[in-house]
Amino acid sequence: MSFEIYSTDRIELINSYLEDSIIRYRHSASQRFSLLIDAMQYSLEAGGKRLRPLLLLASAEAIGLSPRSVLPAAAAIEYIHTYSLIHDDLPALDDDDTRRGKPSSHRKFGEAVAILAGDALLTEAFTQMTRLSESQVYQPAQILAALEFLAQSSGVRGMVGGQLIDVTLDTKSTSLPEIEFIHIHKTGAMIVASILIPTKLATMDAVMVQKFKRYGETLGLAFQISDDILDSESAIRYSRGPRKKPKPSYSDVMSPSEMKEKLNLLIDTAIQSVESLGDKSKPLVDIANFVRTRRS
Ligand code: GRG
């Protein structure tokens, strides 16, 4: 199956699950909460690439799990990603008026509702994780391990911790290890989580889990370098928020050709980590190649 057919099909599955999840809230919550659900839906359906849920499905399929059975975890990852973007755009952080070419959540709904929409998405991500039990495929202990890993990757030891270092960094001390530390936590941890959550739901050989981890870690850094390459080409690196300084970027410490060389090396390593799986790893290989060449 070509990557285009694979990704179109799986993204349709993900989108339809996400749309249904919103319909469920509309049916089960009081009408008085509609504004909150509107704001959650606005950002969830604003046209993201769905990279993380797609990676989660591809990882699940590479280890023999059905894509439908892991959709609640894929939705949880996208909920957390979406909350992080809503909060990152707020005046207290990046103060961005737009996201994906549309008004950012706080520009559309006001700051208070945007903060609450982010809070609700984060909290409801864990409700989504509990829905992994609905397929009756996974044991409670496996679901708990997946849930704990998601919390760990998005919290103090992962994305939020990375964001703290990002917003408090003194630009004078920017160095490659410091930039990588930020990116491993802020961006990389959620990409590693997308790859490793399925391994928590399966009985897997430890050596194979290490290979998946390596794929996630190298792809996470590669994704950030590709983001920094795109940003440096479009020259929109300044945060308007209180930080009032450029965001830490690989372009602070590397030339464009060094960044491209590092991107290729990381993608090659990611691909090598999973190629022993043969055909089953094709979607993971294709996603890595997409990150290598992406333009948005
Ligand atoms: C506010 C707690 C908190 C965390 C924010 C991830 C993050 C931490 C902020 C996002 C800032 C940013 C632009 C980081 C660069 C890499 C990145 C995560 C880009 C956005 O991800 P994509 O390209 O987004 O997958 P789409 O729009 O496709 O969903």
Expressed in angstroms and rounded, the spacing between residue 189 Cα and the centre of ligand 1 is: 12
Ligand 1: which of 82, 119, 186 to mutate, judged by most atoms within 8 Å of the beta carbon? Answer: 186
Residue-level pLDDT at 241: 63
Q: Token pair for residue 231?
A: 């940003």
Euclidean distance between CA atoms 222 and 38, whole angstroms: 34
Q: Token pair for residue 24?
A: 């469920």
Residue-level pLDDT at 249: 87
What value does the mean pLDDT take over residues 12-26?
Answer: 98
Residue 104 φ/ψ region, left for φ over 0, alpha for ψ in the -120 to 50 degree band, beta for the rest: beta
Residues with a CB atom less than 6 Å from ligand 1: 48-49, 51, 84-85, 87-88, 93, 100, 159-160, 163, 186-187, 224, 227
Q: What is the pLDDT of residues 183-241, one digit of tens each?
A: 999 999 999 999 999 999 999 999 999 999 999 999 999 999 999 999 888 755 555 66
Expressed in angstroms and rounded, the spacing between residue 187 Cα and the centre of ligand 1 is: 7
Q: In this prediction, what percent of the chain has a pLDDT beyond 90?
A: 88
What value does the mean pLDDT take over residues 49-76?
Answer: 97
What value does the mean pLDDT take over residues 277-283?
Answer: 94
Angle at 290 between CA 228 and CA 209, to 5 degrees: 95
Sequence-ordered strand ranges (E) for the chain: 98-99, 102-103
Q: What is the mean pLDDT of the chain?
A: 94
Q: What is the pLDDT of residues 131-187, one digit of tens each?
A: 999 999 999 999 999 999 999 999 999 999 999 999 998 877 789 999 999 999 999
